Amino acid sequence: MINKLFNTVTAFSVLLFIGTISFSVLYPVEKKEPAVKEEVVAEPPVNDSLMEGLTAEEDDGKYRAMINLTLPEGNSPEDTEIEEDPMDRMITIKIKNAGAEYFETNPLSGRADHIKDIRYKTKDGNGEIKVYLDGIYAYEDTYENGVLELGFLKPNEKYEHVIVIDAGHGGKDGGTAENGAVEKDIDLSIALKLKDIFDLNPDESIKVYYTRLTDETVSVKKRTDFANDTGADIFLSIHNNSLNGEENAYVNGTQVMCYTNDGRNDSEAFAKILMKNITGRLESKDMGIISGNNIYVIKNTKMTAALCEIGFMSNLEEVQKLQDEDYQLSAAEALYESIKEQLKSN
């Protein structure tokens, strides 16, 4: 009787333990969604506007908007620097030898469609123009006879493929904090290494955007709005996982979340490619492709989308690997290979 009772209790304990692990693996801490709030993109400062010389007439040309700017006499194209700030829908043009007098005597011309405003400032004899756009636009620049022509078009009108890489969390949102490591730092480090790989392997047919490249707070709404505004083909979010409780400390491996059960935009196929390449390079355990249908950045993006949980930070051995630069590089290489493979399959 005692043996029978003991066996029954033991069997119940095993079932309870298995049930706990199954629930934990399928519903990791990462699934908790932050509150969604409205974002405010960059607005023009209160200083002089350069919009007066631009027309507001739509035409049938190549560009959605266009700016023509006469450069200071003696300037070469190398004296002008153009910077993109796509998250804030803004382009900055830095011009050497362009003081206040230059802007007074050299008005802009062009077409103002999709341009909210253009503002300038001067410092130490140099000028800076900020172009505030109503969406995300790629630009093309040409220099002829001392004039800079800057044309704006949608990214997928200029590039064959558009990719958005999302480093999870950031700023005030640290994500998981386990075993002395903070998730936002690992996510960003892998994303930066992935950027380095893309930069070292330039492809004029591909444009890659990043939701963050520094330790800054970016809401999930701003991330998804950004991805949708670019007209991207692929959205890839980089995260790391965690499970509560000492009894789950042994759990390790890679998970991939995607939109499941409806075949939406090849997301499941992309998830399978990611899993194959990540586990192959890192020799991590395949912990499954699971539904991300309720994850904000998956549910609200319109393109092929996946969220990769590279490893479990709640596992001491795995979190030590995740903090290793070479391991992070291997993870970035796997993500790069997966994106290229997905693009070839379409």
List the CATH number of the domain containing 195: 3.40.630.40
pLDDT tens string 128-152:
999 999 999 999 999 999 999 999 9
The total number of structural domains in the chain stands at 2
Q: Among residues 124, 153, 182, which one ends one of the domains?
A: 153
| Of residues 43 and 28, more confidently modeled | 43
Helix (H, G, I), strand (E, B) or coil at 146: coil
Segment 70-75 shows an average pLDDT of 93
Lowest mean pLDDT among 19-28, 35-44, 66-75: 19-28
pLDDT tens string 198-229:
999 999 999 999 999 999 999 999 999 999 99
Domain identity same for 179 and 147? no
Domain identity same for 218 and 326? yes
User: Who contacts 332 (Cβ-Cβ below 8 Å, separation ≥6)?
Assistant: 190, 191, 193, 194, 196, 197
Residue (of 24, 15, 33) closest to 255 by Cα position = 24
Domain identity same for 144 and 218? no
pLDDT tens string 9-26:
444 443 344 444 443 344
Q: How confident is the model at residue 60 (pLDDT cuts 50, 70, 90)?
A: low
Report the Cα 25 to chain-centroid distance in Å: 26
Does residue 201 lie within any of the structural domains? yes
| Of residues 179 and 16, more confidently modeled | 179
Q: How confident is the model at residue 37 (pLDDT cuts 50, 70, 90)?
A: low
Is pLDDT above 60 for 27?
no
Domain identity same for 98 and 143? yes
Segment 273-281 shows an average pLDDT of 98
Domain identity same for 145 and 174? no
Helix (H, G, I), strand (E, B) or coil at 320: helix
For residue 67, CA distances in Å to 93, 122, 255 come to 11, 19, 46
Does residue 24 lie within any of the structural domains? no
Domain identity same for 78 and 225? no
**pLDDT value at position 205?**
97
Report the distance separating Cα 283 and Cα 346, nearest Å: 27
Does residue 48 lie within any of the structural domains? no
Between helix 267-282 and helix 325-345 the angle, nearest 10°, is 150
Domain identity same for 185 and 250? yes
* Helix segments in the chain, DSSP class H: 2-26, 100-105, 155-158, 183-200, 220-230, 267-282, 296-299, 316-322, 325-345
Does residue 314 lie within any of the structural domains? yes
| Of residues 37 and 157, more confidently modeled | 157
- The residue to which tokens 């908790």 are assigned: 32
Q: How confident is the model at residue 35 (pLDDT cuts 50, 70, 90)?
A: low
- Computed over every residue of the chain, the mean pLDDT equals 87
Q: How confident is the model at residue 52 (pLDDT cuts 50, 70, 90)?
A: confident
Q: Among residues 111, 137, 153, which one ends one of the domains?
A: 153
Domain residues for the domain of 232 are 158-345
The CATH number for 72's domain is: 2.60.40
Q: Among residues 130, 153, 176, which one ends one of the domains?
A: 153
| Of residues 26 and 104, more confidently modeled | 104
Domain identity same for 92 and 229? no
